[in-house]
Structure 1
């Protein structure tokens, strides 16, 4: 009788494990190798814009990498910088913006209607001479998702993953962005509304936002962006949990870093490899994906 009861408990326990939250239920399987267009396709199109995302899709990436900021009226938008960037943005009137003027244009201090008026695609970007120029704007994340999903369907393309970075740091709390919990809640509000959670990875240098995600949204994959030379174990100790992805600067990738990460069950996806030589070297080291401004080089790499 004891053995029968014990066996029954074991069966029930196994069934409960299978029916509870799991990767198979909440997450779509990650690509065997993740080709990620940095800020869409920054080297070829204006960064963090809908045209950049469509370009990356046309090139065949598995993953769209992008940056998330919050406006004063709580809209989640795609932007890397805390402020309007005078180096490649123009005023709503199409005029140059001085560095001094830009320093008074924090996205978190403006409503989205105002942010949207800036031209982020017409000015020549000296760092990316191949970038196609066209008048475009800072989009809301919700609009980007709608556009991407519609574009994929129209082009008969498979689903893509969204690797979204929370642009935050302790010094900017409630000045350049919300506190970590409110930031994450606003971001996840959009993701859940658009029903793309299975295809989302949230990345950050700010371990606080990753910790909030781990605690409140454990079904969401996380990626720890790293630009220090600390051992993997030390960085993970500070983070407090093991994320899905370990994402170091490409110069930090070594055989031991890859092995240590794999031994801990993490994928390694470095940033930002922009030459065929860099891409080939990283692939030879056994990484699981690469983030690049030039997704055309990524998809062409053997």
Structure 2
């Protein structure tokens, strides 16, 4: 294959286990994944928990009595973490990922995920890295998240700094205000600029500095853009690539990492 990109388990390994759950992160590590990708939100009592969105997703979430959540209007920023934890986010499975195991689980605290990863690193003797996305949108400031990116980022950093070395951290976000604050005020770990279809040039103009990582949807990423980033000292880590053929193509294009729901489909993880 030439260069082998580092495989990041998207939301743990969403194709195989419930997303952003302890079973998903554990399974990803046992498969050989060394970078756990996840998303974080805040509860009403200031707890940093792992979730792709600040509400319960009707695709897979259930109330504690087993009845399915039917809408997205449950604002978790207005709920204490104890109530958030009472929801089951794994027993129903996810129809978009038919291979996903159905296991009862909950949205964990970020501290739990980091403790799990560090325990695995000690046991295996292999380093574990964490790609943590702060789920922030300007239109949601003060609604489903804190009113300022400072409060959000500071709370996330308080948890991270108590559990892992900054050398193990990638901090990513689509909200460039978060990245700008992290760059100037926190200054720890590597920064990854998340975009969907913006070019590296557009990202640099909007962000105002050169991040360590450019992370684009693979659908809009070209070989020329990868070369552009490398020439400017940026790594390139596309999301979310779920077929072996596409992983091979981007590996041939010399990306530095690949975010995938299916780490088991990565060429280097396929059993001979």
- TM-score, length basis structure 2: 0.94
User: How do 1:1-302 residues align onto structure 2 when only pairs under 5 Å count?
Assistant: 33-99=5-71, 102-103=72-73, 105-154=74-123, 156-178=124-146, 179-229=148-198, 231-298=199-266, 299-300=268-269
The whole-number CA distance in structure 1 between the counterparts of 2:221 and 2:239 is 10
Q: Note the aligned Cα RMSD (angstroms).
A: 1.6
The structure with the largest alpha-carbon Rg is 1
Q: Is the 8 A contact 1:36 1:291 kept in 2?
A: yes
Deviations 1:242-280 (CA, angstroms, capped at 9, x unpaired): 111000000112111001100110000000000111111
Q: Compute the displacement of 1:32 (Å).
A: 7.2
Deviations 1:177-226 (CA, angstroms, capped at 9, x unpaired): 11211110000000111133210000111101000100012232100011
Q: Is the 8 A contact 1:250 1:270 kept in 2?
A: yes
Q: Which runs of 4+ in 1 moved over 3 A?
A: none
Q: Compute the displacement of 1:293 (Å).
A: 0.1
Q: Compute the displacement of 1:82 (Å).
A: 2.2
Q: Is the 8 A contact 1:245 1:268 kept in 2?
A: yes
Aligned length: 267
- TM-score, length basis structure 1: 0.85
Q: Is the 8 A contact 1:213 1:220 kept in 2?
A: no
Unaligned stretches of 5+ residues in structure 1: 1-30
Q: Compute the displacement of 1:111 (Å).
A: 0.5
Unaligned stretches of 5+ residues in structure 2: none
Local SS of the residue matching 1:68 = strand
